[in-house]
Amino acid sequence: MTTSLLNHQNEVNGLVEQPNSSFKLSGGALACMVNSEIGAVLAVMRRNVRWGVHYASDDDQLEHSLITSFKELRKKIFSWQNHWHTIDPVLYLQPFLGVIKSDETGAPITGVALSSVYKILNLQILDSETVNVDNALHLIVDAVTSCRFEVTDPASEEVVLMKILQVLLACMKSKASVNLNNHHVCSIVNTCFRIVHQASSKSELLQRISRHTMHELVRCIFLHLPDLDYRRSQLACEEKSSSNVEVDAAAQSPTFEGKSKNEGCVPAESENEKSENVHGNDGTIKTDSSMMDPYGIPSMVEIFHFLCSLLNVMENIEMGPRSNPIAYHEDVPLFALGLINSAIELGGASFGNHPKLLALIQEELFYNLMQFGLSMSPLILSTVCSIVLNLYHHLRTKLKLQLEAFISNVLLRIAQSKHGASYQQQEVAMEALIDFCRQPMFVTELYANYDCDISCGNVFEGLANLLSRSAFPVNSPLSAMNTLALDGLIALVQGMAERIEHDSSSLGETFPELEEYSSFWTLRCDDYGEPLHWVPFVHSMKNIKTKLMIGVDHFNRDPKKGLEFLQGIKLLPDKLDARSVAFFFRYTMGLDKNLIGDFLGSHDEFCVQVLHEFARTFDFRDMNLDTALRVFLETFRLPGESQKIQRVLEAFSEGYFEQSPNILANKDAALLLSYSLILLNTDQHNAQVKKKMSEEDFIRNNRKINGGNDLPRDFLSELYHSICENEIRMVPDQGGPSSVLTRSHWIGLTHRAKQASPYIVSDSGPHVDYDMFAILSGPAIAAISVVLDHADDEDVLQSCIDGFLAIAKLSASYNLGEVLDDLVVSLCKFTTLLSPSFNEKSILYFADDIKAKMATVAVFTIANRYSDNIRSGWRNILDCILSLHKIGLLPARLASDATDELETSPENGQVKASATYSPATQVPATIPRKSSGLMGRFSLLLSLDAEEPAPQPSEEQLAARQRTLQTIQNCHIDSIFAESKFLQAESLSQLVRALVMAAGRPLKGNSSSEDEDTAVFCLELLIAITLNNRDRIMLLWQNVYDHIANVVQSTVMPCTLVEKAVFGLLRICQRLLPYKENLTDELLKSLQLVLKLDARVADAYCEQITQEVMHLVKANAMQIRSHMGWRTIISLVSITARHPEASEAGFETLSYIMSEGAHLSPANYILCVNAARQFAESRVGNVDRSVRSLDLMSGSIVCLVTWFYQTKEAAGEETAVKMAQDILEMWMRLVQGLRKVCVDQREEVRNHAILLLQRCLTGVDGISIPTELWLQCFDLVVFTLLEELPEMAQQQSAKDYRSMEGSMILSLKLMSKSFLQALHDLSQATSFCQLWLKVLGCMEKYMKMRFRGKRSEKIHELVPELLKNTLLVMKSSGILVPCDPVGGDSFWQLTWLHVNNIAPSLQLEVYPSEELEKLKEKHAKASCSPLPEGSVLVPPNETAV
């Protein structure tokens, strides 16, 4: 017994883990091995009383033939050892097989014989080259499958059964198994299944081993499928095989199991019983030639059909919410499903190459999978889902409608908790859906094949809605279903995001409105394998389907209005035709089938035409009448009125007879038989009918209907049983739970599948992802947000964040800015940064809040990666940044800009230093100011009025702050603004607007220091972004300028904000002027804001402003060309003339412009002269500065001469003439400006001004000054000066009078020299006489002038000398000659009248008597005046003073 148990265990181990012998035994070793097996069998036989007595008897009785055969074999084996492989294996196998088949041997003997055969097979002694190996294998299979033995105890029986399994499996795994024929393979499977079935009443070990063996057999058989030659398999499949290994319900009945153990029978004894049930009454297996061929497709077809038939036990079991989940035996279907799954896993896509196998999957298998999918067992559902997933992977191109039906009617419905599904079932269905979603191209193919097909449902849309709804937690915490749905959603969006990496060009297409109707119902794509063809096709069909679904809603409410609506959108022709309406009914999803039935059954002529066209859309070829009727009636609900039924069946019969006239004589026969089938269906399946129609009744009722003849009895009998077994459902409810799940509906589906458009297999491109994402994005964001709100588990949180990032990537790739904004808004809520109570104390909570930290990093990751597509979301992002700024958690160099590298250059170093320094009053003395450019205010929030030192933070607070800082560092916030120069225009504009809004809030009403700090921070960022984007400044400028203007004009006291605004504006101008010549005026005009500063503010920053202006001018003087630009610059410089601190920089700026005329131009000349005059008049600086200012004014005359010379070269041009006039105006302004300084109270300044004025009046030889301008100059400048100086002198003290005396002397010289300089031109003027008399009047006035009763000796000496010199010049010029006019005073007389009042002796000195007489005679003869005609002579009493 111990030996038996040991052998039992060894064989079990051998079954589970079989060695794969790759070596060859020698002939001697083989002989020894066979000899030992012979000895083992004989030894066990000796222990048996029956065999032992026989063996030991001394009489002459012959030994039993079994023993004799072993002894004979023993004699021969050692003589074969040198040529063992030439020996027929039947010779050494036959004794062992005889023991196995003998019904006289007991279980131990049979078991040992089986072990011997197993050993021979397992050692690979037999291979395909072995002599007569095929016969040997056939004998082994026949012997083992018909094994008989006496049962002595249950344990021994189980051992034998396990060894039978061992040997059969070894046969299939043997290298020689290719020599087995189809019949033997079927027999092996049949026998193993019988043992599996019998083991249900045996030990657990036998049950497990038998099932394992069955699985191994199926794997071994179907692993061979991919290797089969397609042509050979095609030929084999065409031959009808009558052999069948199907096991029907009787195989599972208790009768099969009820064999008495005492009979000593193995399952093979029940074969006759099975043969009678399945194969026939003769108890033999019917064979044909194909079953005798080497095993291949025929056996696989039979085995697969057998496996499918095991599922038929479920067909008539009612499923429902009140069904007991374990009311049926789920063991058999589970086992069968496992075997089927194994076959599909290994056979794979090869099933699609063999029509019979494929037909089994498409029809019988999938129907059963649908049934089992709706079972109440989660375990069965899980197995079914695994099979369908395998089928999708390998055969989806052949199972388009089947997959749609399973996903829509099983997975989606169960996951939605329909059919009263349990939570466990929902979970299994959801897991299965997610497994599908994780397939690389599942959702793409789902959308392209179903959502874009007018004859299919919107499966992807249903899946997206399901996952979104299921992710919403009803109550906190999250359930497993919520998490599963979340995984599915994220799998969808991440799959799209991965595809977009390869190609982001596939954006949604827009389709114009259809202009005219074109039939599209059966339209097919030119090439379903080429994305260039099928992608536009499915987009077009989806566009049509979307509109069609709107039409369906209209039709379901009102058929007439629905058809009119479809005509309006060109989906039906303007003039309705029956064919188009028939196609609409036939191929459109979602129509109310009751309405279709009423329409088709109507007596209206058009409706009848539609009905007949509708019937012609079906393909009834090679279809039984009942099947055709099922297919036809599955598309609408048959009306209840007999007349309508009559019309419908007439149309059906006509269509059916045209396509399948095989048995029926005419269409009337088809009509009568169809009507009869409808009546039979009602009779058999209506509970109110008590007496059911028998088969004979049905046959009798249909006599003589086939053109006066009877239909074949077998034909009618088949129809009768078909209707009885499978009701023709009349679509009781729209989309009811039984839809597509009854046998009748499934037949209709398989019929439609043959006409369906090909299944589109997508490559890895994002061909329709844009359309899918448009459907998915909104629900996905909402669902993930809710999950994130309720989740605490870190893995779930990470999944949510990953989903958000994938959605962000897709939104950016597809330019869906609104979606991205919604995402940003949702994420920002979870950062906790937007909470009004977020402050320094909040860091403790934030540091340990994983959700908040992950959301924060995600927000800024999106802001960095996809900033181009953010629009309104910038506001939320900035709010987060401001919250971090308030508690000092931002990088120190946040607002860096693209031109920072320029600041390190030597010429700009001073700019930076002066521009970044703020008055010390703005920074507490205890805290060092960190300056990093004008944007350097990024440090902790400082309280300027804090008197008490802040308490030291605890270690916990420090650690929390450090963790938070690490998180913020991972956000890379600084990159957002540093990289703003790469932002798209719209996003950049929105960012600037958001900054202006954030910065502008504190300006409204009273603001705290914290609000001001926020405003300063935003302003700095705004300026940094402006500098970063100098190449497109006009995009931002208006918003930036308006904001800075708002700050400047609303501030009345010095503060950091206005400081940043002013110097930021100056910095923008400094940076942009060299690059944007076309914006020079616009930029410089903005500096006028500085002039609008409140006086207190302007005074506080005047020096720094002037420094900045100076550097701006020095760097950009060549770029400033317009009058407006210079006016702004000079205005800023001029106001510093009287400012103690700023005047030095202001004068340096002016000197830079005017020195040597370096940057003087007609555009700025007058402005600069006026500014120089202001500096000359200013007493803020020393006298030397005023003198230098005057020098600048005087030196500018060189520029005027140069410009005037240039106008001469361009003589005649209109612009040149205008320029000459402008130059004269500038000269006039120059001398007028100098004249004003000539009355300065400071002697040095005054005298220097007079000398320079003289130089400007006398040094204009290069400029052609017209006479009128000279006259104007004398009136406004020279004479005015000579009038003002005496008045000043009268107001001076005696001490100061001396200085005034010198100035008056200089002014007299100035007048004299100027007069002589312009004498030639002036003498031609008609008013020359008046001018001359004014000159004489001035000299006379100065001669008579008294100061405190005393006259000036120096003036008395100077005036006659100047006058004498003038007279001599006039004499030599021929201007002053004696001439007596008729009736009036002459120029001569008037001159000497005034001269005599000044110095009477001058006449004789200038004109001696002799010379005078000669001149009088000469001029009397000429009778002419030296003065020009029309000259005005002033009477003596009207002489100008």
The residues annotated with a catalytic role in the active site are 641
Q: 560, 542, 927: which is closest to 771 by C-alpha?
A: 542
CB 406 within 8 A of CB 370: yes
CB 252 within 8 A of CB 270: no
Classify burial at 210, counting beta carbons within 10 Å of its beta carbon; exposed 0-12, middle 13-18, buried 19 or more: buried
SS3 6: helix
Secondary-structure percent of the chain, ordered helix, strand, coil, rounded to 5: 70, 0, 30
CA distances from 254 to 198, 257, 314, 891 (A): 10, 5, 17, 81
SS3 515: coil
**Spatial separation of the C-alpha atoms in residues 193 and 306, rounded to whole Å:** 10
Q: Tokens 């709100």 sit at which residue?
A: 789
CB 1161 within 8 A of CB 1152: no
**Spatial separation of the C-alpha atoms in residues 641 and 594, rounded to whole Å:** 13
Structure tokens at 790: 């309720």
**Spatial separation of the C-alpha atoms in residues 887 and 841, rounded to whole Å:** 9
CB 1339 within 8 A of CB 1367: no
**Spatial separation of the C-alpha atoms in residues 1179 and 372, rounded to whole Å:** 106
CB 274 within 8 A of CB 247: yes
Across-strand partners of 106? 150
CA distances from 865 to 651, 860, 890 (A): 64, 8, 19
**CB-based contacts of 823: which residues, under 8 Å, 6+ apart?**
781, 804, 807, 808, 811, 862, 873
**Spatial separation of the C-alpha atoms in residues 856 and 811, rounded to whole Å:** 19
Structure tokens at 461: 């849309």
Instruction: Output the 3-class SS for 852-903.
Output: HHHHHHHHHHHHHHCHHHCCCHHHHHHHHHHHHHHCCCCCCCCCCCCCHHHH
Across-strand partners of 706? 709
Across-strand partners of 294? 181
**Spatial separation of the C-alpha atoms in residues 459 and 295, rounded to whole Å:** 41
Length of the chain: 1441
**CB-based contacts of 261: which residues, under 8 Å, 6+ apart?**
151, 154, 157
**Spatial separation of the C-alpha atoms in residues 582 and 635, rounded to whole Å:** 12
CB 1410 within 8 A of CB 1402: no
**Spatial separation of the C-alpha atoms in residues 712 and 719, rounded to whole Å:** 11
What is the 8-class DSSP label of residue 466?
A: H
Q: Where are the alpha helices (DSSP H) in 360-422?
A: 366-373, 378-395, 400-406, 412-415
CA distances from 648 to 387, 639, 678, 1035, 1438 (A): 40, 9, 12, 70, 131
Phi, psi of 307 (to 5 degrees): -65, -40
Structure tokens at 1003: 């300006």
Provide the pairing of β-strand 1346-1347 with 1350-1351.
antiparallel
Across-strand partners of 1347? 1350
